Structure 1
Amino acid sequence: MLKFSTFLRALGSIRGALIWSIVLFVVGIGTGWVSTGPLEDILLNQIGGLREVSERLEQGSNVQWNFFLFIFFNNAIKSVLVIYAGIFFGILPVIFLLINGMVIGFLVHTTMNYGASLFDIVVKGLLPHGIIEIPVIIIACAFGLRFGGLVLKSLIQFGGEKRNMIGSQWSAFMRTTVTASFWIVILLFVAAIIESTLTYSLVRG
């Protein structure tokens, strides 16, 4: 059940939700890139909060270890929660995708406006860990969207002839969420190691 091959098959079963997750994330990046006014203020507050956390972590005795613990537990807990938060009609995964995309788009655009190189931002700051972390977050949200889709489908077909079929779909899906949660946490563990070591060294080097 927890085999990686089972996880890959589970991804195939939510292909439609994966596509929607990618689209929403890209829309978030584009929105963050061009954001102004109240939306810009919201994103600045988000980034300001992250900066405050970063500054607190820098004050510890083992900075990289502090960063690893924060990054891993923050991402892992949120990613698993967003899967099961999909029960609320998939609304929270949609918000999570858009906000994360907007923060990245806004941060990259703003940093470039201050003269930073796009190569340095992407290759040094995002790519080392982001090549794992970003797809994993998108996958978690895709499971959340699929969860929401099943809820809506169940409500529409409640009492209908297809209710038994829906029951079997729920059983199969809930098993895939366990497998997905396991591998999402494992992959985010790897991403957190990379971000707290390689990315940390590249950005501060």
Structure 2
Amino acid sequence: MGLRAFFQDLCTARRLILISALFFCASIVVGWFSTGIIQAMLVQQMEGLGEVSQRLQSSEHPQWSFFVFIFFNNAIKCVLVIFAGALFGIVPFIFLIVNGMVLGFVVHLQADMGRSMYEIVVKGLLPHGVIELPVLIVACAFGLKFGVNIMSTLGTSLGLKRKGTGPSWKVFLKQTLTVSIWSVIFLLIAAAIESGITYRLLSH
């Protein structure tokens, strides 16, 4: 369960982590250039987030409210997306694409409103994003791995694959537990940074 074990587990899913990172980057570009139905969907997402942000901002202790919301929202979603990967990897794939598009759309929208890329990226994204985004990608990669393992096991059960060539579920479930725990820890740090450093940087 240590940090070393966490990084060793990442190595076992390095291809899926790379694939997830590429899909995430591609979806950022799609979000940036979005029009029509995609843009309408992203606007709806942003309106929902805007309402939540206003409620948190008007609370008695805004920074603490932001911290609690950001941490639990991200931690619950990241852990769920790993295990929801059991549904053939569909959920983590959609989660990855939607989050990438929302990010691309938000950055483009902020740029159109006159904010500099320095303020958007360096002040608004980097402080917490350098931790939060890799954790999101890793969680989705393990969710996809869960789906791949399910399909491999089904293939073996149906006689499409030789027995003994499927995944070791005992090893994999131990890996998902380790990844889940460390993801929550890193997201706790990211939430503290976002509700503290990022909040103050964007308030000035």
Same fold (TM over 0.5): yes
CA distance in 1, matches of 2:86, 2:7: 22
Correspondences of 1:13-28 after superposition (within 5 Å): 13-28=12-27
TM-score (norm 1): 0.96
- Corresponding residue of 1:93: 92
CA offset at residue 159 of structure 1?
A: 5.0
Matched, 1:34 2:71: no
Correspondences of 1:39-118 after superposition (within 5 Å): 39-118=38-117
CA offset at residue 74 of structure 1?
A: 0.1
CA distance in 1, matches of 2:18, 2:162: 26
CA offset at residue 79 of structure 1?
A: 0.1
- Deviating above 2 A after TM superposition, structure 1's stretches of 4 or more consecutive aligned residues are 159-167
CA offset at residue 114 of structure 1?
A: 1.5
CA distance in 1, matches of 2:63, 2:15: 38
CA distance in 1, matches of 2:125, 2:38: 23
Q: Percent identity?
A: 48
Which AA in structure 2 matches 1:45? Q
Aligned residues: 203
CA distance in 2, matches of 1:153, 1:37: 38
Which runs of no fewer than 5 residues in structure 1 stay unpaired?
Answer: none
- Corresponding residue of 1:163: 163
- Corresponding residue of 2:195: 196
CA contact (8 A) 1:112 1:118 kept: yes
- Corresponding residue of 2:175: 176
CA offset at residue 163 of structure 1?
A: 3.0
CA offset at residue 43 of structure 1?
A: 0.2
CA offset at residue 113 of structure 1?
A: 1.2
SS of residue paired to 1:164: coil
SS of residue paired to 2:166: helix
Which AA in structure 1 matches 2:54? E
CA offset at residue 164 of structure 1?
A: 3.5
- Corresponding residue of 1:139: 138
SS of residue paired to 1:61: coil
